Amino acid sequence: MMTSMNYHLLGLFGLIAFTIAYILLLVFCEVLSRKTKVPTEYTRKLSHVLAVLAALFFFPVVFINVGYALALTGLFFVLLIIARAKRWIPSVDNVERETGGSYFLAFGLGSTYLVSVVFDCTMAFTLPLLIFAISDPLAGLVGGKWIKNTASLYGGKTIAGTLTFLFSALIICLLYFNSLFGNPMIALSLMVALAATVAELVSTRGTDNFTVPLTVAVIMIYHQLLGFSLPII
């Protein structure tokens, strides 16, 4: 059994290790952008997805004390502000649209992990991050790069991108619930996918990095408190 001291040492180790790893990730994206001329939109998405996947797999293991996870996301926020002011990472910041997505990503990770720990709901952390790591970049690629000149919705987001987000989120939910409960829980999957899509659609300037995972987390917590009483189709 781990003691309180061991929890703190593990959290401190995670804080240092994640900080170093994130800095190395930003350096990698910067080198990739400069050496290969990969578009900034791709290197930016890559940095977001890898950061989210790292948090998904290691936060619950390393940050048993949630305070260290919050300290880490706060540190990331400060580092990103400094980096943007100094123009250290154009591979992440130099996008055509005005966005604060990287900052909101830090808030999204921290707040989602916090509520999942407070309500003792692992699904409120894992499912939101899976949707964000897969559906968000897919929507951006399909709506912004692969399918040109499609009709736009709110905030300039395309129909193609929004539908991609919706259907990919739905597939993720169906597979996720089926793996946990042996049942895809279609009604709940539809609810989560639709709510996440609406949150993504109405959020502008990168705020979807915060609103999408938190929206999914709230739904998961709500249904856990109800004992997953939503009818299963």
Q: How far apart are CA 50 and CA 104, in angstroms?
A: 16
Stated pTM of the model: 0.86
pLDDT of residue 194: 97
Cβ burial, residue 218 (10 Å; 0-12/13-18/19+): middle
CA proximity to 168, closest of 201, 204, 150, 194: 194
Share of the chain above pLDDT 90, in %: 33
Q: Higher-confidence residue: 128 or 203? A: 128
Q: How far apart are CA 169 and CA 197, in angstroms?
A: 8
**Mean pLDDT calculated for residue range 176-197:** 93
Q: How far apart are CA 94 and CA 19, in angstroms?
A: 22
pLDDT of residue 231: 47
Q: How far apart are CA 128 and CA 185, in angstroms?
A: 16
Share of the chain above pLDDT 70, in %: 85
Residues 6+ away with beta carbon under 8 Å from 86: none
Render pLDDT for 148-166 as a digit per residue (tens, 0 to 9). Answer: 555 566 666 788 889 999 9
Domain boundaries, the chain: 4-225
